[in-house]
Structure 1
Amino acid sequence: MRFDERFLDEIKSRLRPSDVIGKTVKLRRQGREYVGLSPFTKEKTPSFYVNDDKGQFFDFSSGKTGDIIAFLQESERLTFVEAVERLAAEAGVALPAVDPRAAEQEKVRQSLGEWLETAAQWFEAELRRPVAREARAYLEKRGLPEKDWARFRLGFSPPGRTALKDYLIAKGARPAELVETGLLIAPEDGGAPYDRFRDRIIFPIADARGRVVSFGGRAMDPQARAKYLNGPETSIFHKGHHLYGLAEARKLIAAAPSSASAPGEILPLAVVEGYMDAIACHRAGIPAVAPMGTALGEDQMEILWRHHPEPTLSFDGDRAGRQAAFRTMDRALPLLKPGKSFQFAIVEGAKDPDEVLREQGPAALRSQLANSTPFAEALFNRERDAEPYDTPERKTALKTRLRKLAATIADGDLAQAYKEDLLGRFEQLWPTREAVYTVGAAARAMSRARWDKRRNPNGVSDGPATSQAKDASRRLRVSPRPLAAALAYAAVRDPGVIDEKIELVGARGFGDEKLDSLAQELVRLRYETEGMEFDAAIRELDARGFGPANLAVLEQDARRAGVSAPFLQATGERARDLWRQAFDLLMQLEALERAVEAAARDLDRDHDSSTLISLKTERDLLRKLIASDWSHPEELASPVLPH
Structure 2
Amino acid sequence: MSLSPQWLDQLKDRTSLSSLIGRSIKLTKAGREYKACCPFHNEKSPSFTVSEEKGFYHCFGCQKHGSAIDWMIDYGGLDFMDAVKALADEAGMDVPAPDPQAARRAEKRASLHDVMEAAQERYAEKLRGLEGAGARGYLEQRGLSPATLTAFGFGFAPDERGGTTRELSRFEIPQLIEAGVLIDVEGKQPYDRFRGRVMIPIRDIRGRVIAFGGRVLGDGEPKYLNSPDTPLFDKGRTLYNLDKAAPAGRQTGRMIVVEGYMDAIALAQAGFHDVVAPLGTALTETQIEMLWKQVECPILCFDGDSAGQRAAMRAASRALPLLRPGHSLAFATLPAGQDPDDLLRSAGPRAFAELLERAEPLVERLWNHERAAAPLSTPEQRAALKARLNEHVRTIGDDDIRHHYNDAFRERIDTLFARAPKRYAGGGYGGGKFVGRGRGQQRGGQWKPPIPPASAALKGLNTASFDHSITRAVIAGLERFPDIANTHFEMLSDYHPVDTDLAQRLDTMLSGTPAPSKGLDPEGGYPISTTAELYNRAHGPNGVEPLIFSFNRQAAPGAAPSGDEERAKRDLCEAIRVMVERPAIEAALERATRAAETNLTEDSYAEQQRLRAVREEFDRRLADLMQDEDF
TM-score after normalising by structure 2: 0.58
Alignment of 1:38-437 (within 5 A): 67-68=48-49, 70-71=50-51, 73=52, 77-80=53-56, 104-169=104-169, 172-187=170-185, 189-222=186-219, 224-254=220-250, 256=251, 266-283=252-269, 284-433=271-420, 435-437=484-486
Letter in 2 for 1:199: G
Letter in 1 for 2:217: M
Alignment of 1:484-499 (within 5 A): none
Alignment of 1:414-493 (within 5 A): 414-433=401-420, 435-437=484-486, 438-439=488-489, 440=491, 443-446=494-497
Letter in 2 for 1:183: V
Partner deviation per Cα, 1:202-248 (whole Å, 9 max, x = no partner): 111111111111111000131x2200001111111111111111101
What secondary structure, in the 3-state scheme, does the structure 1 residue paired with 2:372 have?
helix
CA gap 1:374/1:49 in 2 versus in 1, 3 angstroms: closer
**Alpha-carbon deviation of 1:358?**
3.0
Give unmatched runs, 5+ long, in structure 2.
4-29, 59-64, 71-79, 85-95, 421-482, 504-578, 615-631
Give the number of the structure with larger relative contact order, counting CA–CA contacts within 8 Å between residues 6 or more apart.
1
RMSD (CA atoms): 4.3
In structure 1, C-alpha distance between the alignment counterparts of 2:253 and 2:300, rounded to whole Å: 14
**Alpha-carbon deviation of 1:268?**
1.8
In structure 1, C-alpha distance between the alignment counterparts of 2:260 and 2:580, rounded to whole Å: 50
In structure 2, C-alpha distance between the alignment counterparts of 1:140 and 1:56, rounded to whole Å: 60
CA gap 1:405/1:447 in 2 versus in 1, 3 angstroms: farther
What secondary structure, in the 3-state scheme, does the structure 2 residue paired with 1:350 have?
coil
What secondary structure, in the 3-state scheme, does the structure 2 residue paired with 1:445 have?
coil
Q: Is the 8 A contact 1:316 1:350 kept in 2?
A: yes
Q: Is the 8 A contact 1:566 1:578 kept in 2?
A: no
Q: Which has the higher helix share?
A: 1
Q: Is the 8 A contact 1:271 1:288 kept in 2?
A: yes
Query: Looking at CA atoms only, which structure, 1 or 2, has the larger radius of gyration?
Result: 2
Q: Is the 8 A contact 1:57 1:67 kept in 2?
A: no
Residue correspondences, number: 416
In structure 2, C-alpha distance between the alignment counterparts of 1:345 and 1:297, rounded to whole Å: 18
Q: Is the 8 A contact 1:270 1:313 kept in 2?
A: yes
**Alpha-carbon deviation of 1:385?**
0.6
**Alpha-carbon deviation of 1:178?**
0.5
**Alpha-carbon deviation of 1:566?**
4.8
CA gap 1:175/1:331 in 2 versus in 1, 3 angstroms: same
In structure 2, C-alpha distance between the alignment counterparts of 1:243 and 1:411, rounded to whole Å: 26
**Alpha-carbon deviation of 1:398?**
1.2
CA gap 1:208/1:567 in 2 versus in 1, 3 angstroms: closer
In structure 1, C-alpha distance between the alignment counterparts of 2:373 and 2:233, rounded to whole Å: 38
What secondary structure, in the 3-state scheme, does the structure 2 residue paired with 1:345 have?
strand
What secondary structure, in the 3-state scheme, does the structure 2 residue paired with 1:161 have?
coil
Partner deviation per Cα, 1:40-68 (whole Å, 9 max, x = no partner): 59xxxxxx9999x999998xxxxxx7645
Partner deviation per Cα, 1:445-493 (whole Å, 9 max, x = no partner): 356769x9xxxxxxxxxxxxxxxxxxxxxxxxxxxxxxxxxxxxxxxxx
Q: Is the 8 A contact 2:55 2:67 kept in 1?
A: no
What secondary structure, in the 3-state scheme, does the structure 2 residue paired with 1:117 have?
helix
Partner deviation per Cα, 1:325-356 (whole Å, 9 max, x = no partner): 12222222222221111000012243111222
In structure 1, C-alpha distance between the alignment counterparts of 2:588 and 2:393, rounded to whole Å: 30
Correspondence for 2:609: 576
Partner deviation per Cα, 1:514-563 (whole Å, 9 max, x = no partner): xxxxxxxxx98952898x999xx69xx9xxxxxxxxx99x679x63x745
Q: Is the 8 A contact 2:485 2:492 kept in 1?
A: no
In structure 1, C-alpha distance between the alignment counterparts of 2:601 and 2:585, rounded to whole Å: 31
Q: Is the 8 A contact 1:49 1:57 kept in 2?
A: no
Q: Is the 8 A contact 2:161 2:191 kept in 1?
A: yes
In structure 1, C-alpha distance between the alignment counterparts of 2:584 and 2:237, rounded to whole Å: 50
In structure 2, C-alpha distance between the alignment counterparts of 1:350 and 1:328, rounded to whole Å: 21
Correspondence for 2:559: none
CA gap 1:297/1:567 in 2 versus in 1, 3 angstroms: closer
**Alpha-carbon deviation of 1:107?**
2.3
In structure 2, C-alpha distance between the alignment counterparts of 1:331 and 1:567, rounded to whole Å: 26
In structure 2, C-alpha distance between the alignment counterparts of 1:285 and 1:567, rounded to whole Å: 49
Letter in 2 for 1:350: G
TM-score after normalising by structure 1: 0.57
Give unmatched runs, 5+ long, in structure 1.
3-37, 42-47, 59-64, 89-95, 257-265, 453-522, 542-550, 569-574, 582-643
In structure 2, C-alpha distance between the alignment counterparts of 1:314 and 1:367, rounded to whole Å: 12
Letter in 1 for 2:318: R
**Alpha-carbon deviation of 1:278?**
1.0
What secondary structure, in the 3-state scheme, does the structure 1 residue paired with 2:144 have?
coil
What secondary structure, in the 3-state scheme, does the structure 1 residue paired with 2:259 have?
coil
CA gap 1:525/1:179 in 2 versus in 1, 3 angstroms: closer
Q: Is the 8 A contact 1:142 1:358 kept in 2?
A: no
In structure 1, C-alpha distance between the alignment counterparts of 2:44 and 2:139, rounded to whole Å: 47
**Alpha-carbon deviation of 1:441?**
5.0
CA gap 1:363/1:162 in 2 versus in 1, 3 angstroms: same
**Alpha-carbon deviation of 1:318?**
1.7
Letter in 1 for 2:268: H
In structure 2, C-alpha distance between the alignment counterparts of 1:391 and 1:141, rounded to whole Å: 53
In structure 2, C-alpha distance between the alignment counterparts of 1:404 and 1:425, rounded to whole Å: 16
Q: Is the 8 A contact 1:163 1:195 kept in 2?
A: yes
In structure 1, C-alpha distance between the alignment counterparts of 2:258 and 2:339, rounded to whole Å: 9
CA gap 1:555/1:414 in 2 versus in 1, 3 angstroms: closer
In structure 2, C-alpha distance between the alignment counterparts of 1:202 and 1:80, rounded to whole Å: 35
In structure 1, C-alpha distance between the alignment counterparts of 2:42 and 2:113, rounded to whole Å: 37
CA gap 1:200/1:427 in 2 versus in 1, 3 angstroms: same
Letter in 2 for 1:242: T
Q: Is the 8 A contact 1:345 1:368 kept in 2?
A: yes
CA gap 1:168/1:375 in 2 versus in 1, 3 angstroms: same
Q: Is the 8 A contact 1:267 1:286 kept in 2?
A: no
